[in-house]
Amino acid sequence: MALTLVFLLLGILVGAVVNQLGSDLPARRAPTRPHCAYCGRERPWWQWLGLSAHLARRTGCPSCGGPLGVRRPLIEIGLGVCYGYLWLTLGPSVRLIAYLLYSAIFALILITDVERRLILNVVTYPAMVVGFAASFLVPGITWQSALVGGLVGLVFFFVVAAVGNHVYGSGAMGGGDVKLAGFVGLITGFPSVIVAIVLTLLIGGLVSLALVVLRVRRLDDYVPYGPFLVAGGMITLLWGPRIVAWLLL
């Protein structure tokens, strides 16, 4: 129980770092300390963690009163829960280390894609290198499987992007989504990447349909696809082998 709390706290702290990178990297600046998005002044230390600032109800910038958004505590809580769950599920292992890193990468991609419609090369390229290197260390996946999985993810979503941009116009799906699909393929491997693709399309279709039915979005509105790839990738990482075994029965 104590170690679970340690990993939960670790996830919250990593979430704070990811939050700041999610603000700094799209602006093409070196990582900074948390600062106000309105006046640019550095925030006091008690606001470096969005969760603690919101719990204390001290989210206003001391200089201009600008609020600290809800994204920061949500990412911190999300990664905290994720890290605690991964520890309980995987225990001390190489797989645990890899999955903790993948989760942080996914969280960073979620921030930039949802807020800026950007999946940055500075994130995806190093992530793909890490994913391929991890295939030499993580049990249950080989470098050949990772390579084939990455290639399948890249090619499939490259075709989807090409068709989507031709039918719906430029911007329906960007190169960042294609590279993210390659990263997902590298860390899930083949044939699990097929499960990740199917889950991504299923989740994306259902969520998009729900948004249209609820009139939150129109059919021609942009919906970031990165979150669906992240969801498909994480589900496959955690339960992919069971899903593959069930499908092959």
Question: pLDDT tens track of the chain, all 249 residues?
Answer: 788 999 999 999 999 999 999 999 998 888 888 888 888 788 888 888 888 888 888 888 888 888 888 999 999 999 999 999 999 999 999 999 999 999 999 999 999 999 888 899 999 999 999 999 999 999 989 999 999 999 999 999 999 888 877 666 666 677 889 999 999 999 999 989 999 999 999 998 888 788 777 776 766 666 778 899 999 999 999 988 787 777 666
Domain boundaries, the chain: 1-92, 120-249
Q: Say whether pTM exceeds 0.85.
A: yes
DSSP the chain: -HHHHHHHHHHHHHHHHHHHHHHHGGGT------B-TTT-PBPPGGGSSHHHHHHTT--S-TTT-PPPPTHHHHHHHHHHHHHHHHHHHH-SSHHHHHHHHHHHHHHHHHHHHHHHS---HHHHHHHHHHHHHHTTTSTT--HHHHHHHHHHHHHHHHHHHHHHHHHH-TTSS-HHHHHHHHHHHHHH-TTHHHHHHHHHHHHHHHHHHHHHHTTSS-TTS---SHHHHHHHHHHHHHHHHHHHHHHH-
